[in-house]
Amino acid sequence: MKKYVLTGAALLALSGAAWAQGPVSGSLQASGSTAEKQPVPGATIYLDGQAVGATSADGSFQVPAVPAGSHAIRFTAIGFEPTTIQVLGRAEAQQVAPVTLQTASVVTSEALVTASRASDRTATAYSNLSREDLDKRNFAQDLPYLLDQTPSVVVTSDAGAGVGYTDIRIRGTSNTGINMTINGVPLNDPESRGAFLVNLPDLASSVSSLQVQRGVGTSQNGGAAFGASINISTLDSPREAYAETQNTYGSFNTWKNNVQFGTGLLGGILP
């Protein structure tokens, strides 16, 4: 009888060891020239590939109920290289040595602003003009006169011919409240916030598409976009060599001559 009691006690002890699930605790520190031994809060903790929690504000952590046997605990955090430690599950709580994360250098691409144009899901009124639309209206006049048939647009010219000092209003707002961009670069004067298109004669010949946003739109330039926005995209550089000439004759013996040429890519690089 005594032998059976001893055997049963031994089996119970082995069973308890096999199913031991004690916690593992410790701390997480940073290692690097600018963050030596600083705590790493908010790091994600994985036990055998499954997320089980995160480090606290002071970098401490606790992994509860680690089963018996060897297990991998992995730590990951933004700006640090991941690290993994091996632990043995025990019935009692155990404290591991401080875990160190090495700082990492993250190389990213440049930031691109893509919110200057509206789409069919944007809650703003807008009109798109393609290259073909602009060619039909391009008679060597300034850009505002190419938009005079757009809803809510009124254009004027000091000389009356649409060349030189021209003005544009959208929904009654002058060009000081209209944000104009060329390929995302603001065209408005930083002091007066006006856009002087007299400095860009025959700009329309180099435009691939144009969008007019009426009212407050998607522009990121603050007060200059209070009334409207005009977003201009220029032509892309062809990959092959090209040459083009355009000659237009109009009333009062007026001529418009335009010459475009380029080398395209040279050795796979745009000069």
Q: Which domains does the chain have, with CATH numbers?
A: 25-102 (2.60.40.1120), 125-236 (2.170.130.10)
Residue 111 has pLDDT above 70, yes or no: no
pLDDT band at 87 (very low <50, low <70, confident <90, very high): very high
Q: Exposed/middle/buried for 166, CB within 10 Å: 0-12, 13-18, 19+?
A: buried
Q: What is residue 217's predicted lDDT score, i.e. its pLDDT? A: 65
CB 43 within 8 A of CB 28: yes
Confidence (pTM) = 0.53
Q: Is the pLDDT of residue 77 over 80?
A: yes
- Backbone phi and psi for residue 55, each to the nearest 5 degrees, phi listed first: -75, 155
177 CB contacts (<8 Å, ≥6 apart)?
193, 223, 224, 225, 226, 227, 228
**Weakest mean pLDDT among 8-22, 156-170, 185-199, 204-218:** 8-22
Element (H, E) at 132: helix 131-137
Most confident of 20-24, 153-157, 264-268: 153-157
Total Cβ atoms within 10 A of residue 112? 7
Lowest mean pLDDT, pick from 14-18, 143-147, 252-256: 14-18
Supply 117's token pair.
Answer: 């144009």
Residue 264 pLDDT level (bands cut at 50, 70, 90): confident
Q: Which residues contact 213 (CB under 8 A, 6 or more apart)?
A: 118, 124, 125, 126, 219, 228, 229, 230, 231
Share of the chain above pLDDT 90, in %: 22
pLDDT, residue 22, reads 83
Task: Give one word for 118, left, alpha or beta, with left for phi > 0 and alpha for psi -120 to 50.
Answer: beta
Output the pLDDT for position 221: 58
Map residue 135 onto helix, strand or coil.
helix
